[in-house]
Amino acid sequence: MGDFVRVETNEGIGTIRLDRPPMNALNTQVQEELRAAATTVSADPDVRAVIVYGGEKVFAAGADIKEMADMSYVDMAERAADLSSALGALARIPKPVVAAITGYALGGGCELALACDWRVVAEDAKLGQPEIKLGVIPGAGGTQRLARLIGPARAKDLIMSGRMVDAAEALRIGLADRVVPADQVYAEAVALVRPYLHGPAQALRAAKQAVDGGLEMDLASGLAWESQLFAALFATDDRREGMAAFVEKRRPDFTGR
């Protein structure tokens, strides 16, 4: 698909594969190729779930510092929104998305993982937001998504210290959802999303929209948003099939419509 990011589809799973050796640094081209890949898997009805994967050695060690080192305030002011929105495109994929993390997920790589719904992490992997050591802060969702995921105090610890966490700590604080040996990371990611491949696609989409959208609202607004999405599902074939199957005591045959 691109020079450094491609989409591989197999049995309903779309894998967004980063391949920019040696560390999958997220330069401008990779960012835009990730945006394009997110658009592709979002629009493909044959893709029912998504895995973001950097390969057997490394997920993504961060942004391309050499590319940014000589940028001025004006340069970054023009680029920062595009950087954030490129990873935002991953977060808005209306399907279950899991990051399969080997090696390192640091800086922009950690932010890429945070844009996914779940994170499967290798036992020897390291995660973190080390931007503070460069005199900056995370600029592609790290301060916002990390705080929402693990809480503000823990997020401040990681962001303000710049320290890396191992897989065990990541699991303990909620940054990782599953920890497995490195050679099992991709297979475990497949196992995590497999139950959704034949599920009610519109309801899964609505569930993701309800949770993610509700986090940006006060409780009353979130409840109203939930009610709207809930009611809309009564226009779907899968809702009719699901309820009919329940009444008839059989397994539902969802079509995604």
User: Is 147 a residue whose pLDDT tops 80?
Assistant: yes
In this prediction, residue 198 carries a pLDDT of: 93
Positions annotated as catalytic residues are 63, 108, 111, 131
For residue 250, the tally of other CB atoms under 10 A from its CB is 9
CATH code 3.90.79.10 for 201-248: no
User: Is 40 a residue whose pLDDT tops 90?
Assistant: yes
Instruction: Give the span between the Cα atoms of 61 and 105, in whole angstroms.
Output: 5
Helix (H) or strand (E) holding 217: none
pLDDT in tens, 163-218: 999 999 999 999 999 999 999 999 999 999 999 999 999 999 999 999 999 999 99
Of the chain, the percentage scoring pLDDT greater than 70 comes to 100
Lowest-pLDDT choice from 35-49, 79-93, 137-151, 163-177? 79-93
State how far the alpha carbon of 256 is from the alpha carbons of 32, 242, 250, in Å.
29, 11, 18
Where are the chain's structural domains? 5-196, 201-248
Mean pLDDT for all residues in the chain: 95
Specify the fold of 5-196. Answer: 2-enoyl-CoA Hydratase; Chain A, domain 1 (3.90.226)
Instruction: Give the span between the Cα atoms of 231 and 184, in whole angstroms.
Output: 40
3-state secondary structure labels for all residues of 70-122 = CCCHHHHHHHHHHHHHHHHHHHCCCCCEEEEECCEEECHHHHHHHCCCEEEEE
Give me the long-range contacts of 43-48 (CB less than 8 A, separation at least 24): 44/9, 44/14, 45/256, 46/9, 46/12, 47/9, 47/12, 47/13, 47/14, 47/95, 48/12, 48/13, 48/95, 48/96, 48/196, 48/197, 48/198, 48/199, 48/201, 48/256
Decide if 24 contacts 60 (C-beta within 8 A). Answer: yes
pLDDT in tens, 62-71: 877 888 888 8
Q: Is the pTM of this model over 0.85?
A: yes
In this prediction, residue 72 carries a pLDDT of: 83
pLDDT in tens, 93-139: 999 999 999 999 999 999 999 999 999 999 999 999 999 999 999 99
More confidently predicted of 42 and 83: 42
Output the six-digit token pair for 21: 């050796």
User: Is 83 a residue whose pLDDT tops 90?
Assistant: no
Per-residue DSSP letters for 10-51? ETTEEEEEE--TTTT-B-HHHHHHHHHHHHHHHH-TT--EEE
Q: Which residue in the block uniquely carries the two structure tokens 């599902």?
A: 233
